[in-house]
A and B are shown apart, each in its own frame.
Chain A
Amino acid sequence: MEAGAPASAPVGIAASLLEFAEQLRGEGVAIGTSELLDCFAALEQISWAGQQTFRAALASTLAKSQEDRRVFDLVFDRFFFRAVEAAAVREEVREGEDAASALDGESAEIDLEGLRAQIAQAMRDGDEGKLRDLARLAIAAFGRAQEGSGVIGVDVQRIRRALGLRTEPQPELPPEDPRRDGLPRDGLRRFEALLRRELERGQIERTQALPPSRPLNELDRALPSGPLQDLAAVHRVVAQLKRRLATQGHQNRGHQRRQHVDVRRTMRASLETGGVPVVIKYRPRRPRRPEIYVVCDVSTSVTSASVFFLSVMHALHDSFRKMRSFVFIERISEVTDVFARERNFKAVSEAIGRDAGVADISGYTDYGRVWSEFKALVEDDLHPRATVIVMGDARTNGRDPRDDLFAQIAARAGRTFWLNPEPRLYWNYWDSVIAAHERHCNAFECWTTRQLEDFAAALARPVDR
């Protein structure tokens, strides 16, 4: 048995489940003993015949937030797929010959057009089982026509292209073809996942060994900021942030050590009890509503992140009234008016692209110049209750970062935050000078939702002054 495969001796379901929970913990899902006990209790109540039921029972007891659910789904698929394959290898179950020979006879007359139409139809109907069969059929058809590249991801894309499955409408096709209006995106994604799975299965069967298991790719769970990902996903994250910001600060109310008695409300309440002040009413402590200066990098090195950052700015504008926004590349430009005027995010980003005029000659970020201009712009307005938030990757393109100017700005403002869209691993490599700036501010890495939430918490935390 190869390394990384589950234990070779047959293990009971309890041990398997514990191992599954262990893997979930490894991916950062908090599972306590009480959850596991619940899980076993739940499994006693249901029939295990259907995968869906089994999966739902596990999910309802183990993964208790939307994010955990996502990780759960990924780990569930991976774990049980591997468990099945390990068992198949151990028991030397092979379906390869039968299925392959059955298909061999067929593959000659596999009708590509028919296959395409069938796949598109199955996608529309959301028929998982059918789609899986079709995926196997497709692999059989193409695995023979051309030699597989050996890299699964490449093969998946090759098959998809060869089948002409696309999300955009294809008006040149005849009207009865289901692909004409474009295929649903999630259907296509599911089909690709099935292709991948079946290819993996074939590989395992050929080599008679499981590839070593990998932890989930961090990027699977990262912020949807890649250029390929859609804006709607970014907005969902930001909408959540918006709601969080709106309710921030309230939850700290009980922790105040000194509270002021609200005499007026106490007296009014005492009327209920004949003038005896039985219930003391306290003056609520308002959450901090700081004055905010946001400075956002919109250069090409942060292209994928800047859509996200702009929508964060948009969200902040909704939550904080005293706020000024700036964007910069080589020069800095104030865009507060744009945000105030336009309620629609799309219009905002268009207006910024058109009017801000932040690129000068080279189009590369020049922090030195930006700091000196920013300082000139806001120096007189900064005061100890102001908060400055910088969003950028701190890559200077070899120019002088002038962190001394930044230090002066930070010294005048009450708090200074830096949001860096790069993982901490890449900080200070190449031309990143975040360390020089980090001395003067709180730097956050910000490329997953959780990190963004950490930042939101820090931003709204009341400061005792």
Chain B
Amino acid sequence: MSALPDSVKDIADGLRRAGYLPGESTALVSYLATKLGKPVLVEGPAGVGKTELAKALASYLDRELVRLQCYEGLDEAKALYEWNYRKQLLRIQAEADGAGWSEVQDDIFGSEFLLERPLMRAIASKAPVVLLIDEIDKTDQEFEAMLLEVLSDFQITIPELGRVEASSHPVVLLTSNNSRELTEALKRRCLYLWLDYPALEHELEIVRLHAPELSETVARRLVEIVGMVRELDLKKPPSIAESIDWARALLLLGAQDIDAAMFRDTMSVIVKHRTDLDVVAERVGVKLTALPRS
């Protein structure tokens, strides 16, 4: 287990080594999160590397990543803990003859009968972990309220057992696609990080990191085109992950340059809606032939 970072630069370098190129504010907020022990709420469009950030942090800090994927109808039984009913019933039946009620009752509400779910696991873990609560905006408001205890005090109250306090301090990341307004109470407890599509140079670096064999000129042209495509009004603008996919596809095809024909053949890697394809072909495909070759 590595020590906590000493400066913003440390964490930026560390994330870089883990294969994630952080922007300035990303590194800063990650640093503050480790130092202040506050959860981070990460928002931004789909595919800008919100989840990747958590993975990179875990790998840099050399910690286990505990992930809780949120969805509509997620409840505490699946997020926190659940009593193992089957085992409890077995226990009762095994003791059915003889043993008094009170012994059995004390018995069946022990930690032996507890099924740990992600949040519980993150709290109870001996070694510190990175906890990723993914797509928090998909859950109900009640679930958010339940999270508050975990996020501010790092403890969970189980009525039958008492309070379980964190033995180590996890780094917590919450991601949201902003599909609904989160409650003030939750935001209040978090640091806020807004991730947007990266600037041209930054994205170029990211693409070069993930597809190092691609020649500089092609990579530059690629991110320029992706930038152009994002300018258009699309159903789903291409994300960073798609730029990388495209870079790999071009590599595989051994492309020396992205011309109109090559673009037409491969653009389905970055554009994934029927109507979007038409718009992009019309608006960007034409420009490609006109652009001077770089």
Contact = CB atoms under 8 A, between A and B. Distances in A.
A59 B86 contact: no
A60 B233 contact: no
Contacts of B292: 175
B188 A272 contact: no
B265 interface: no
- What 3 A-B pairs come out closest when comparing CB atoms? A56-B25, A64-B192, A243-B179
Nearest to A54: B28
Contacts of B85: 272-273, 278
Interface in B90-147: 140-142
Contact of B179 (A38, A42, A46, A247): A247
B154 interface: no
B43 interface: yes
A240 B28 contact: no
A30 B186 CA distance: 13
Nearest to A126: B199
Nearest to B180: A247
Interface stretch (A19-27, A249-257, A398-406, A440-448): A249-257
Contacts of A244: 179-180
19 contacts: A35-B188, A38-B38, A38-B191, A45-B35, A52-B25, A59-B25, A60-B25, A63-B192, A64-B187, A64-B188, A65-B43, A65-B192, A69-B194, A175-B292, A232-B233, A244-B179, A273-B85, A273-B86, A278-B85
A278 B41 CA distance: 36
Interface in A247-298: 247, 250-251, 253-254, 272-274, 276, 278
B43 A57 contact: no
Nearest to B90: A274
A57 B194 CA distance: 12
Contact of B32 (A60, A251, A274, A453): A60
A42 B184 CA distance: 20
Contacts of A65: 43, 181, 187, 192
Contact of A56 (B24, B190, B233): B24
A253 B178 contact: no
A21 to B, nearest CB: 14
A276 B92 CA distance: 14
B269 interface: no
B194 A250 contact: no
Contact of B86 (A232, A272, A344, A453): A272
Given A34-B188, A56-B29, 17 more contacts: A30-B184, A32-B188, A38-B38, A52-B24, A53-B8, A56-B24, A56-B25, A65-B181, A69-B194, A231-B233, A235-B233, A243-B179, A247-B72, A247-B179, A278-B85, A343-B275, A344-B275
A164 B181 CA distance: 43
Contacts of B140: 250-251, 253-254
A60 B179 contact: no
A45 to B, nearest CB: 5
Contacts of A253: 140
Contacts, number: 93
The interface size bin for chain B is 35 or more
B43 A66 contact: yes
Contact of A41 (B36, B72, B181): B36
B267 interface: no
- In this complex, the member of A46, A63, A251, A272 whose beta carbon has the largest number of chain B beta carbons within 10 angstroms is A251
Nearest to B292: A175
Contacts of B36: 38, 41-42, 45
Contacts of B141: 251, 254
Contact of A59 (B184, B189, B192, B199): B192
Interface in A58-105: 59-61, 63-66, 69
Nearest to A450: B181
Contacts of A56: 24-25, 28-29
Given A38-B38, A46-B8, A254-B142, A66 B178 contact: yes
